[in-house]
Amino acid sequence: MHYFIFPEKDATIFEASSSLNSGMDEILEIRKNVSDTGASVDVSRILMKFDTTYFQEASASGLIPHSGSRAAKYYLNLYDANPKALATSQSLYAYPVSGSWDMGTGRSYDNPQTADGCSWKYRYSETNGTLWASGSGAEDGAGGIWYTSSVAPAASASLNHQTRDLKIDVTGTVNSWLNGTIVNDGFLVKRSGSVGNNHPSASEGNTDRLGNFSFFSSNTHTIFPPTLEAVWDDSTWSTGSLDALTSTNLEDSVIYMKGLRPKYKENSRAKFRVVGRERFPSKTYSTTPAGLTIKYLPSGSSYYSITDAETDDVIVPFGTGSKMSCDSTGNYFNLDLNGYQPERYYTLQYRVVTDEGTADELDQYYDEGFTFKVSL
């Protein structure tokens, strides 16, 4: 299962405009501006918070597993919005924020600038005057404040000029929120190091020209707002009296959908039935047509994937969080449509692996144009 939630607030804070609020910007930025002489550097960072109430409740009820081999993984996803002059390869880090802050209503291009929310210097507003107080990660009370200890270590991901969407495994931080170790005040996303630290490994503070990242914010009018994604294996397996499709069968088999509806309501939960059978079944004497005999796909190695039908962006990839289940009537998977963009079409594909890791491994893909719409 893949479950997505959107930010309740986000903003960019700019060192060069220390009182500026950008809470209503459609773009979030990780900037690094180096002067022509290399004598000065100014940067920006991203603040972002998600309401994790659902994750808390689902974890407590057991719907989302929080321990064992099926324990959920959590990912912070930010989507490329035309970054500029990026270096070949670099990393971004997501730290858990250690203090509250206000999103505000400003935009980075406001003139005069708006200062009624968080900024590089202030947590709530310039009028309120509350600084990012001293503490772990604070730099003279400015630039945000975050945890760096083993309680909630930083998470990171590498990007380059070709792979510019950001996907960070933040499982450690989210679990610290869910178990009450720290309070959820959101993430701070930045480069490594700190302002004024010119050590070669401190990419935020040194004079290397690394370019500027741009990501869509929660205020975007595109289909690419940031998400916090939970991924876990929700598959169950009970075949009843069904027979299996063997590796020999799968080389020439038919995969089709049973009861696929043209559209589903946003935020609903739906069960999708997947049927497998031989394309040319062997002739037998039976009262049931062989072509109607349902067989189950291999356990633990049958997957689904979901893509946006227009953009081909992968919403759910083949993997641990997209394993198919089985009951006495055939294969299926459950889909929670929370986090899917409404009034859009999505395409389903399937992957079946048999004899994995052996010389006889067979990896079959099925894309038969199965499409559904998520409606308002």
Would you list the domain boundaries of the chain? Answer: 2-231, 243-375
Return phi, psi of residue 61, to 5°.
-85, -10
Question: Residue 245: what pLDDT?
Answer: 81
Distance in angstroms (rounded) separating the CA atoms of residues 158 and 95: 15
Map tokens 């959107």 to a residue. Answer: 6
Per-residue pLDDT band for 196 (boundaries 50, 70, 90) equals: low
Cβ proximity of 75 and 339 under 8 Å = no
Nearest to 213, CA basis, from 363, 33, 30: 30
Cβ proximity of 336 and 264 under 8 Å = no
Question: Residue 137: what pLDDT?
Answer: 46
pLDDT at 130 > cutoff 70: yes
Choose which CATH entry (2.60.40.1930, 1.20.58.100, 3.40.50.300, 3.40.50.1820) describes domain 243-375: 2.60.40.1930
pLDDT at 217 > cutoff 60: yes
Return phi, psi of residue 85, to 5°.
55, 45
| Bond prior to 226 in cis (omega within 30° of 0) | no
Output DSSP code: residue 146: B
Return phi, psi of residue 355, to 5°.
55, 45
Per-residue pLDDT band for 292 (boundaries 50, 70, 90) equals: low
pTM tops 0.85, yes or no: yes
Residues in Cβ contact with 85 at an 8 Å cutoff, skipping those fewer than 6 apart: 209, 211, 212
pLDDT at 27 > cutoff 60: yes
Angle at 99 between CA 96 and CA 101, to 5 degrees: 105
Per-residue pLDDT band for 284 (boundaries 50, 70, 90) equals: low
Question: Residue 223: what pLDDT?
Answer: 93
Residues in Cβ contact with 45 at an 8 Å cutoff, skipping those fewer than 6 apart: 12, 13, 30, 143, 144, 188, 189, 190
- On the 0-12 / 13-18 / 19+ scale of CB atoms within 10 A, 170 is buried
Question: Residue 293: what pLDDT?
Answer: 74
66 versus 134: which is more confidently predicted?
66
pLDDT at 263 > cutoff 50: yes
Per-residue pLDDT band for 282 (boundaries 50, 70, 90) equals: low
| pLDDT tens readout for residues 164-188 | 789 999 999 999 999 999 999 999 9
Question: Residue 357: what pLDDT?
Answer: 72
Cβ proximity of 184 and 190 under 8 Å = no
Identify the H or E element spanning 77.
Answer: strand 73-78
Per-residue pLDDT band for 40 (boundaries 50, 70, 90) equals: confident
Q: Where are the alpha helices (DSSP H) in 98-254?
A: 171-178, 247-250
Distance in angstroms (rounded) separating the CA atoms of residues 48 and 83: 19
Average pLDDT of every residue of the chain: 88
Per-residue pLDDT band for 136 (boundaries 50, 70, 90) equals: very low
Question: Residue 253: what pLDDT?
Answer: 77
Distance in angstroms (rounded) separating the CA atoms of residues 243 and 226: 43
pLDDT at 360 > cutoff 80: no
Question: Residue 134: what pLDDT?
Answer: 57
